[in-house]
A and B are shown apart, each in its own frame.
Chain A
Amino acid sequence: MFASAFTNSVFGFLKTYVLLAAASTGSAAGYDPAELAMFAWAGQGLLGVVQLFSWTEVADRIRTGDIVTDLLRPMNPLTAFLAADLGRAGHALVIRLTVPIALGAVFFPLRWPEQARTWVWLVVSVGLATVTSFATRYLINLLAFWWLDARGPNTLWLFGGSLFSGLAVPIPFFPEWAQTVLWCTPFPWMLQAPLDVLLERGDPAGLVCGGALVAGVMLGFAAVLQRVALRRLVVQGG
């Protein structure tokens, strides 16, 4: 716990300084320094809530054959894993989000929301971002049914999760056309959308509706792929 908070903070400093240097003229891609600092620290905090790290739990269970145990339970594995993930995110929201933002506030001026209702929008938006992240991760894990080694899809996940989600740099840093393409993928909805809500950029209702739509679509994809996979399941013997 302490170890990951420490590492998370070191990366928070690294990110903040680079973003602030990019805004030496007073702003960068429409963000002022206080917004960039908040973006960096809140992003470090949300990273652990929406879970953008490598996650191969389901893929490993498919490879070892343990997935059969999950299938024997009178509950859809997608629902069961989602419930567990939301529980994890709820815990992380309290611990992992508050610590980096508090630390960032000690060292840098941060831009806090001006309206109280932003906090309500933020919690909803983070919840939807977590569902989108979970559904995408689950989808990638399911590929292990066809591709026993989930390393390739997982690399794709790491690539999208850090570069296209707003974790490495804010999405508005990319060229216009790339931004349009990216918002059509689930990735910006996992981090950039809740951060936009927090920094009060754009319409929160629109961001939350978009987030709900993407979360629903990704969960649907995951459910369909799960059904397809189970129809042609070959249990690893042993």
Chain B
Amino acid sequence: MADVADVLAPYRRLLVAQIRSQTQYRLSFAVDLALNATITVIDVFVLLAVFRVTPELAGFGLIETLLIAGLAQVAFQLADLAVGNLERVPFYLRTGLLDAVLLRPLSAFGQLVVLDFMPRRVGRVVQGAVTYGVALVLSGIDWTVPRVLLAIVAPIAGAVCYGAIFTAGAATMFWLVEGGEVVNAFTYGGRDFASYPTPVYGPWFGRLLGFVLGLAFVGYLPALALLGRADPLGTPGWLHWCTPVVSVVWALVAASAWRVGVRHYQSTGS
């Protein structure tokens, strides 16, 4: 146990230093937190506006959709807080700073995560958690022990999925360097996709992003399990509980992609 603490100590020190430097100016940090929470409220407003003109989306009401969106929001914002700054990998590649990172006797992934950690993103997580909490209360769930566990585990497993998408996306930068925009389609686009019931989307688009990329497992399927609803798409009931399994698969895929990417890295030579 002491060994693990020893290994993690340098990361912890880097992380604490980063947090301290960014929270040095209390008022400015408080404003940043508030701004970050504000910007994520947009999605809730959009949802309310859509449900003002229609009573249901693909058979799902406002509160049910809010539950799906809340799950997706918490999952995405947690991942964004933890590893969202991997978006800066192209910057490290272009400037050659990655050489310095790779020379240190620490993991490249661990360093990149703690070096640009942004505590102000906590504001977004709080906003997502409020949406999720409100939806949980309003949707009148018939609580059982497995459902309580799922309500806690699903957003975390979803966060692992999004974290894996961020990581795999950053890994592709070792080849594409300037393809940051494409990754956004899967990270931010993936967040928007998972915020609505999967049957909303056309057959090929919904299957591709929902079941091949597994984004249906972030919000839609766990919400079905919590609500005890059958899936209009016809997936079996046991599948709605499988978000943790999908997140493990995603994590393994992302980890190998990252390793291959780092191995492929050739310095800018400057």
Contact = CB atoms under 8 A, between A and B. Distances in A.
B231 interface: no
A41 B180 CA distance: 22
B165 to A, nearest CB: 13
B81 to A, nearest CB: 17
Interface in A7-41: 7, 10-11, 13-14, 17-19, 21-25, 28-29
Contacts of A206: none
A120 interface: no
A168 B42 contact: yes
Given A7-B181, A17-B205, A158 B39 contact: yes
A47 to B, nearest CB: 13
Contacts of A174: 49, 52
Nearest to B52: A173
A6 B200 CA distance: 21
A14 B39 contact: no
A59 to B, nearest CB: 15
A107 B254 CA distance: 32
B182 interface: yes
Contacts of B181: 3-4, 6-7
A70 interface: no
Interface stretch (A71-79, A149-157, A193-201): A149-157
B interface bracket (residues with beta carbon within 8 Å of A):
20 to 34
Interface string B186-204: 0001001100100011100
A interface bracket (residues with beta carbon within 8 Å of B):
20 to 34
The 4 closest A-B pairs by CB, nearest first: A3-B181, A10-B185, A7-B185, A22-B54
Interface of A: 3-4, 6-7, 10-11, 13-14, 17-19, 21-25, 28-29, 107, 149, 151-152, 155, 158-159, 162-163, 168-169, 173-175
Given A18-B50, A22-B53, A162-B42, 15 more contacts: A3-B179, A7-B182, A14-B189, A17-B205, A18-B57, A21-B58, A21-B196, A28-B53, A155-B35, A158-B39, A159-B38, A169-B46, A169-B50, A173-B53, A175-B52
Interface of B: 28, 31-32, 35, 38-39, 42, 45-46, 49-50, 52-54, 56-58, 178-182, 184-185, 189, 192-193, 196, 200-202, 205-206
